[in-house]
Structures are given as C-alpha cells and as structure tokens.
Amino acid sequence: MIISERKISKELAYYRALSFRCQLNGEDAKKLSVLERGFAGEGIYDEVFDDVGHGSVFVFRDIYLGIEDSFAQYDALIVSDAGITVNEIKNYSGFYRVEKEKWFAGNFEVPDDPPSQLKRAMNKLLRLQYIHRLNFEISGKVVFPHIDFRLNCDNQEVRKKLVMRSELRDYLKQFKNDYAGRYAEGIVDAISAHIIDNPYFDKSADFEAVRKGLYCGNCGSFEVEKLSYHFFCTSCGSKETKEYHIIRALSDYTVLFMNEKLTRKRFLEFIDYRLSPRTVVRMLGKYCTRFEMSTASYYEFNYGTYEDVVGNQEYIRRYKNHLTKI
C-alpha cells in the first residue's frame, strides 16, 4: 500500500517555474538539472515497484522526517512487520569506481558517497525506535536505476548494499512476500507522526525580476493570444484553456514567492493583466482558500503544484487543450 505518493517537490517546482520566467544563472541551472535527474530516477524506481506489485507492505515515497532536533529525507521507505527498509535512489550515469570504500567519478572523488548517505538515513531511524518504544529491524540499499550506470567495485561489503538497474525488478519482488500487519501499522503511525515539510528549502524569487504574463505549457513561449476560451501560442500553435493557464500561474506564484501573500491585485500584476479581474476572482475562489485581513483579503493555493491539480481525477475541464508536437 502506498502511504505517500511521490510528487514534484516544491524545490523542483520552484526551479522549473524560475526557468520559464527568468534566465537561470549557472548555479541555478545546475541545481535544476540535478533535481530533474533525481526525480526521473525516482520515477523509474516507482514504475518498476508498481509493476511488480507491493504485496501487503506499506510504502512511503519522498518524505522528510523530523525526529527530535534532526531532519532526514527519504526517497523510499518500505515497512513490514519485520521493520523498515530504506531505499536511497541515485540516478547516476556513466562510469564510477570504488576503491577501498572511496567513490570516484573519473578522476574526482565523490565527496558524499551513497553508502554513507544511506547509513546516516538509517541511523536517524534508531531514534524513532526509542521514542515510540518499537523493536524493528532497519535495513537499506542504494538503488541505481539508470540503465547507463557502470560501477567497478573492489569491495564486496559495499557491493552488497547496492542495487543496479538490471537487479531492480528481482530486488523489489522480494517485498511481495513480506507481511505487514498490526505491528507494521504501528511503525507506519510512528513514521507518519514525524513527517514534515522540507526544512532545508526556503528560497523566494524577486518579484520584480521575474517575467510577468502567461506562457505556453507546450513550448514555454510567452507569445500567446487570447481567444474566447483558450490562449493560442503563436510559436508552436498549441491551444490551452484559460483555466489551465490560471492554474499554472497560481502554481508558479505559490512556489516562487513562498513568503509573499497571494492577493488579487498582486496576481493580476503577475499575469500581466492577461485576464479580467472577474475571471481571476472566480478562479481564485475555485482553487484557493480565501482569508480575510483588516486591510485586504488574501488567498492560499489549495494544491502543491500545477501537476497536483490537473492530475486530480475530480478536476473537470469543459474545454480541451490542443497541443502541437514539438
């Protein structure tokens, strides 16, 4: 059973939105590339796991835990009556080697090698045992889902902690035989009690520096013309409904300006007044919660990202998009 579905993180959503609305510097562009690669690898892992089936085990995907005064991020936790299995997912590609427990990519030593990261993540769960008076095993593997990852490893103890792409299906199949009953439910409750938002990410963009307006979800162009029910992209020929554009803009605003309140006036400025105040108010009422202040009202987006809305089965669209292949 999947307890927490993997979603696009706020950090990845932030850099994606920023990449559409301004020119990324080298550091930000590199960060976006790393996040995209990591998310793609996690997607491969999830796809294989879903395909082989989960049996009765409980699965947490991409969560942060706050345990006393420490924090940890987990790509995947698999819970059974026996305990917790930690899977650290690394979407590396190319040739790596391990010499005397040191990891190298070409001639460069990897500063924070995957097995060390896995060990730290597993050790933090020991506090969970103590706090909740639970007795369970903690095991783990580092998973490399990229088909083009190659590793030369001279240490068999290190190798035992790793799962390559060719081994992934057989590795995940074993969990179908694990039993998850009442004791596993107790472990799940303990984990759930410590789930927190990402404590490491608090970036906020400069409102004046980002490009205002609406952009095509197919090619990213801001050259879109308003029609009766759609916006037409003059660059690629795609048509997307006004509602889709509003949802994307609400998502962008929310992830880019974490510390700034969403008001009708500010949002109209953000979309460069491409839609009428009446339409904007209607969409804010549909996708946000309104809060009253003494001076003005503000809104909070009810979803994490754009994908959370359009991926929701309850989301009903009257008019369809028409996207052009590029």
4-57 per-position pLDDT tens digit: 999 999 999 999 999 999 999 999 999 999 999 999 999 999 999 999 999 999
Gap between the Cα atoms of 142 and 114, Å rounded: 7
SS3 state of residue 270: helix
Gap between the Cα atoms of 258 and 244, Å rounded: 21
- Angstrom CA distances, 320 to 16, 230, 248, 251, 264, stand at 24, 9, 16, 20, 26
Gap between the Cα atoms of 57 and 260, Å rounded: 41
SS3 state of residue 133: coil
Q: In the chain, what are the domains?
A: 2-196 (no CATH), 224-310 (1.10.10)
DSSP 8-state secondary structure symbol assigned to residue 108: E
Prediction pTM value: 0.90
277-287 and 242-256 helices, crossing angle to 10°: 70
CB atoms within 10 A of CB 100: 7
pLDDT per residue rounded down to tens, the chain (326 residues): 999 999 999 999 999 999 999 999 999 999 999 999 999 999 999 999 999 999 999 999 999 999 988 999 999 999 999 999 999 999 999 999 998 888 999 889 998 899 999 999 999 999 999 999 999 999 999 999 999 999 999 889 999 999 999 999 999 999 999 999 999 999 999 999 999 999 989 899 999 999 999 999 999 999 999 999 899 999 999 999 999 999 999 999 999 998 899 999 999 999 999 999 999 999 999 999 999 887 789 999 999 888 888 876 555 565 567 677 66
pLDDT confidence of residue 259: 86
